[in-house]
Amino acid sequence: PSHHGWDGNGAAVAPTPMPKRLDGKVAIVTGGARGIGEAIVRVFVKHGARVVIADIDDAVGEALASALGPQVSFVRCDVSVEEDVRRAVDWALSRHGGRLDVYCNNAGVLGRQTRAAKSILSFDAGEFDRVLRVNALGTALGMKHAALAMAPRRAGSIVSVASVAGVLGGLGPHAYTASKHAIVGLTKNAACELGAHGIRVNCVSPFGVATPMLINAWRQGHDDAAAGDDDLDIDIDIDIAVPSDEEVEKMEEVVRGFATLKGATLRPRDIAEAVLFLASDESRYISGHNLVVDGGVTTSRNLIG
Ligand code: NAD
C-alpha cells in the first residue's frame, strides 16, 4: 500500500480498527457540564483524552466528572472572567504534567428570547454586553490562555463552537448573532497568528441541537406568545430545567424540517464528532476553518423559504 491510503490498483486499503484519536492528550472543554459540551467530553474520553470540564455549574460538572472516571476532572470557570480561565488552564497543566493539547471553547449563552429583547429597536445594552462577554470575550480569553500554554510545546488545537448564527443572519437575537460571527472572525485571526507556533485554530458551527439551551429558548418563546407579553423577564440561562424526552423529540422534529439532508436527526454527538476531528491530528493541516454541521441548512433557502 502507498502512503496515500490506496493500493497500487486504486482500490481503498482495508480500514484498520479505529484507533483512539486523542490518546494521551489533555483537553479542556468549557461549558462541558451539559448539552453539546457534555457530548464533546464523552467523545474525547472515549478517544483516550484526559479531560478537564470547565463550567459554572459545579454540581452538574462535578457529577459528570466523577461518573466518567479519574481521567476527567472539573474546575469551576466562568469563561468571561480572565482569572477563571487562567486558573482552569493552570489546573490542567499542573494535573497533567505541564501538557495541554486541546482547548474547546464551547460555553455559550443565547440571551433573552422575548420579542422586545430580540429587536434591534428595543434590545437592552446590558444584556447585549453580557452575551458578548461570555460568547466572544470568553472565546478570546480561552484562545489567549490556551495558546500561552501550548506555544512552548509548539503544538495544540483550539476548537470553538460557533453557530450557523455565526454565518447567516436572522437566526438569533442580535447579541447572539454578533457574538457567533465574532467567534468565526476570532478563529480566522488567531489561526493567522498562532500558526507560527504550531497551533491550529478552528471552529464548528452547529444548526439546532435539542439541548437545554435550545429547549429553554423554545419554551420561553411559547410562553411569550401565549402571554402576549413582550416584557417577560426570564433569564433562560439560569432556568436550565432538564428537558423532557417529549420536548427533545418535538425540537428535533422542528430542526429536521429545515435540513435538506433527510432521514437523520442532529444530535449533540454529531457536533462532538466534528470537534473531535478538528482536535485530533487527523486534521493537522486544517486551520482557520469553520466546519458547519447543519444537514445542509446553510446551503439551502429552506430557512428563509
Ligand atoms: P447549554 O445551555 O445546554 O449548555 C451550556 C453549558 O455552558 C452549561 O453547562 C452552562 O453551565 C455552561 N456555561 C454557561 N455560561 C458559562 C460561562 N460563563 N462559563 C462557563 N460555562 C458556562 O447549551 P448548548 O446548546 O449545549 O450550547 C453549547 C454551545 O453550542 C454554545 O456555545 C452554543 O451557543 C452553541 N450552539 C448551540 C446550538 C443549539 O442548537 N443547541 C446551536 C448552535 C450553537
Could you tell me the three cell numbers for 238? 439560569
- Determine the atom of ligand 1 nearest the C-alpha atom of 35: 26
User: What is the C-alpha separation between 182 and 301, in angstroms, rounded?
Assistant: 24
* Ligand 1 residue neighbourhood (C-beta within 6 Å): 30-31, 33-37, 55-57, 77-80, 106-109, 134, 138, 161, 163, 206, 208-209, 211-214
Q: Cell digits for 97?
A: 504534567
Which residue has the CA at smallest separation from atom 40 of ligand 1? 208
The Cα 143–Cα 199 span in angstroms is: 10
Q: How confident is the model at residue 276 (pLDDT cuts 50, 70, 90)?
A: very high
Average pLDDT of the chain to the nearest whole number? 90
User: How many Å is the Cα radius of gyration of the chain?
Assistant: 20
- Exposure string of 228-249, with b = 16+ CB inside 10 Å and e = fewer, is eeeeeebebbeebeebeeebbe
Q: Per-residue b/e over 59-82, b at no fewer than 16 CB within 10 Å?
A: ebbbebbeebeeebbbbbbbbbbe
Q: Complex ipTM, two decimals?
A: 0.99
Which has the closest alpha carbon to 38: 221, 225, 269?
A: 269
Please give the Cα distance from 107 to 129 (Å, whole number). 16
Alpha carbon distance 132, 180 (integer Å): 9
Distance from the CA of 6 to the center of ligand 1, in angstroms? Answer: 41
Q: What are phi and psi of 2, to 5 degrees?
A: -80, 170
Confidence of residue 146 (pLDDT cuts 50, 70, 90): very high
Q: How far is the CA of 14 from the centre of ligand 1 (A)?
A: 39
Q: Would the pLDDT of 201 be above 50?
A: yes
> Does the annotation count 103 as an active-site position?
no
Which of 131, 213, 218, 247 to mutate to test ligand 1, by most ligand atoms within 8 A of the CB atom?
Answer: 213
How remote is the CA of residue 34 from the centroid of ligand 1, in Å?
Answer: 8
Instruction: Report pLDDT for 234.
Output: 45
pLDDT at 285: 98
Position 114 scores a pLDDT of: 81
Are 111 and 130 within 8 A, CB to CB? Answer: yes
Instruction: Give me ligand 1 centre to Cα 31, in Å.
Output: 6
Model pLDDT for residues 48-76, shown as the tens digit of each residue? 999 999 999 999 999 999 999 999 999 99
How much of the chain, in percent, has pLDDT values that exceed 90? Answer: 75
Mutating to test ligand 1, I would choose from 112, 211, 271 the residue with most ligand atoms within 8 A of its C-beta, which is 211
pLDDT average, residue stretch 205-230: 78
Residue 4 has pLDDT above 80, yes or no: no
Q: State the Cα–Cα distance between residues 69 and 122, nearest whole angstrom.
A: 47
Which of these is catalytic: 91, 176, 207, 218? 176
